[in-house]
Amino acid sequence: MKKDNITNLFDRLKDDFDVETPDKGHENRFLQKLQQQQNEETENTSKPVILFTWWKQIAAACVILLSLGIFIGSNFNASAEETQVTFSPEVEKSQLYFASLIEKELAKVKAAEDEDTKEIIQDALLQLERLENDYSNLKNQLIERGNDKRILHAMVTNFQLRINLLENVLTQIDEIKLFKNENTII
């Protein structure tokens, strides 16, 4: 039954099928036209693209040269006193906040010093001194390079490391005292 339906369909559409063969060389003519069309499109679009790219490069070079000129011109007459960095108010506030926080934590650590905690505190003070030296190096880099966000971020991270160090030392001191109290009770 199905075969009869398909046979009937083909019989009905027999005159609608395109069974003609293209002329000899049809494929070559088609490929030539396609190639010619692609060449015309390439010629029409390549000139504006090259011109547009060229102007972008010139504009970028001008911006770089202008920026460099302004930078050199502003620093050319700077004296040794002028090279000292003046921080923005936000940076100064942050620096004062962190410094006061570190001093408070350091005072707590020094107040907790006794025979049992002396070694831990001395080690912490050495690590704190290293971090302070790193901070001084960062300040010098900031003077040399100007307001670089990466250096400012490293400075804030340095403050945070010092605060974390002191908090960890205080935690260790509390644990030592707790352990000592538990042993004296037993």
Tally the C-alpha atoms within 13 A of residue 128's C-alpha that lie toward its C-beta. Answer: 21
Task: Tell me how far apart the alpha carbons of residues 170 and 163 are, in angstroms, rounded to a whole number.
Answer: 11
Q: How many domains does the chain have?
A: 2
Clarify whether residues 176 and 122 are in a common domain.
yes
pLDDT above 70 (res 145)? yes
Per-residue exposure over 38-70, b if at least 16 CB sit within 10 Å of its own CB, e if not? eeeeeeeeeeeeeeeeeeeeeeeeeeeeeeeee
Same-domain pairing of 69 and 113: no
Judgement on whether residues 55 and 130 belong to the same structural domain of the protein: no
Q: Is residue 98 part of a domain?
A: yes
**86-132 pLDDT tens trace:** 566 777 777 788 888 888 888 888 888 888 888 888 998 999 999 99
Q: How far is CA 59 from the centre of its chain?
A: 26
Residue-wise pLDDT tens digits, 21-70: 777 887 888 888 888 888 877 666 555 545 445 556 666 655 565 665 66
Same domain? For 116 and 33 the reply is no
Instruction: Provide the residue range defining the domain that includes 57.
Output: 24-77
Q: Say if 178 falls within a structural domain.
A: yes
Mean pLDDT of the chain: 76
130 and 171 assigned to the same domain: yes
Q: What does the pLDDT read at residue 86?
A: 58
Q: Specify the 3-state DSSP secondary structure of 88.
A: coil
- 104/180 same-domain check: yes
Cα 7 to the chain's mean position, in Å? 70
User: Where does a domain end: 35, 50, 77?
Assistant: 77
Strand segments (E) across the chain = none
Q: CB burial class (10 A; 0-12, 13-18, 19+) of residue 155?
A: buried
pLDDT band at 75 (very low <50, low <70, confident <90, very high): low
